[in-house]
Amino acid sequence: MRKSSLFALGLIPALLLAVTADAHKLRTSGVSVAVADSGVRVTPTRDWNRLDVKPGKKAETWTLDGTQLNDVTFYGGIEPGNPLVKERSKKREPLPKFTAATLVVEVPELLESTYRAYKGLAAFTVESTAPAKFLGQDGVRFTYFFTDDDQLTRKGEARAAIIKGSLYMVTFDAPRLHYFDHSIADFRALADSAKLN
């Protein structure tokens, strides 16, 4: 813990510099763009910000007002044996892995377990799970809510499909109060526009 706090002290000014030097990218309405270094393309119906900080090798985060208020994360083709996001320590803090045996109906549990292990949460509930199309394939659409360590309860909605053995997913997390309802339509439009080449 002490080590990480020392690290954080050094890190924060460095990040401030990095942030101003290397800005995030604008994703303009109506322009088709590839996400998460995968074959997935989306065409946003409004402007979004794509963050440079990637949560994982095959993941990418978009936001409108900052990730605390609305966070769209694309997972593009997670292969069996890999976690959804980058592990802090492979050995000491391993994250659950997507495996060849994972069923689509278990994807909500995989996301839940990843959030819990990564953020050390206890309050996470999957609210509903239903079949739905994603990327033109049979997949799952699920909703959930959780309380993060900033004590704010966030609501989430996600769509996922397993295509040729790889997991494709897009999630939307936002505070349950106001922000979720405010931007959910934008997220749905974005998710609907997703296509796999």
Partner 1 sequence: MSLFHSAVAGALALTSAAADKQTVAPPPPPYAGVYQPQGVDEIGMWREDDESERKLAASALVIRDEKLNAYVRNVLCETVGADRCRSVRIYIMREPTINASMSPNGTLRIFSGFLLRLRNEAELGAILGHEFGHYEKRHTLNRFKAARSGTDLLAWTALLASMAPSYDARRSYNDLELSVYGSLYRFSRDNEREADFLGISYLNRSLLRPQAAASVFQGLMGEFEASARAKGLKKPNFSKIAFAASHPPDAERAAYLTLLAAPAGASRDNGADRYRGALAPWLPAFLSDQIKLNDFGASEYIINSLAASGWTPTLWMARGDLYRLRGNPRDLVNAAEFYEAAVQLDPTLADAYRGLGLSLIKTGRPSDGQAALRKYLELKPDAADRAFIQMMLPVQGVGQ
Q: Which residues bind partner 1 (CB under 8 A)?
A: 1-2, 4-5, 7-9, 11-13, 15-16, 19, 51, 53, 55, 61, 66-68, 91-92, 94-97, 99, 101-106, 108-109, 112-113, 116-117, 120-124, 126-131, 138, 140, 142, 147, 149-151, 153, 162
Cα angle for residues 112, 161, 70 (degrees, 5° grid): 55
- In the bound state with partner 1, the residue whose beta carbon lies nearer, of 43 and 147, is 147
- In the bound state with partner 1, the residue whose beta carbon lies nearer, of 112 and 157, is 112
- In the bound state with partner 1, the residue whose beta carbon lies nearer, of 1 and 30, is 1
User: How far apart are the C-alpha atoms of 55 and 87, rounded to whole Å?
Assistant: 9
Per-residue tokens: 99: 């495996």
- In the bound state with partner 1, the residue whose beta carbon lies nearer, of 108 and 156, is 108
Nearest partner of 98 among 88, 89, 109, 90, judged by Cα: 109
Residue 28 C-beta: closest distance to partner 1, Å: 20
- In the bound state with partner 1, the residue whose beta carbon lies nearer, of 38 and 67, is 67
What does the radius of gyration of the chain's CA atoms come to, in whole angstroms? 17
- In the bound state with partner 1, the residue whose beta carbon lies nearer, of 104 and 184, is 104
Residue 43 C-beta: closest distance to partner 1, Å: 26
How many other CB atoms are there within 10 angstroms of residue 145's CB atom?
16
SS3 15: helix
Residue 109 C-beta: closest distance to partner 1, Å: 7
The position carrying tokens 């949460």 is 121
Largest distance between two CA atoms of the chain = 48
Nearest partner of 135 among 156, 100, 162, judged by Cα: 162
Residue 159 C-beta: closest distance to partner 1, Å: 13
Residue 127 C-beta: closest distance to partner 1, Å: 6
User: How far apart are the C-alpha atoms of 48 and 66, rounded to whole Å?
Assistant: 10
Residue 22 C-beta: closest distance to partner 1, Å: 11
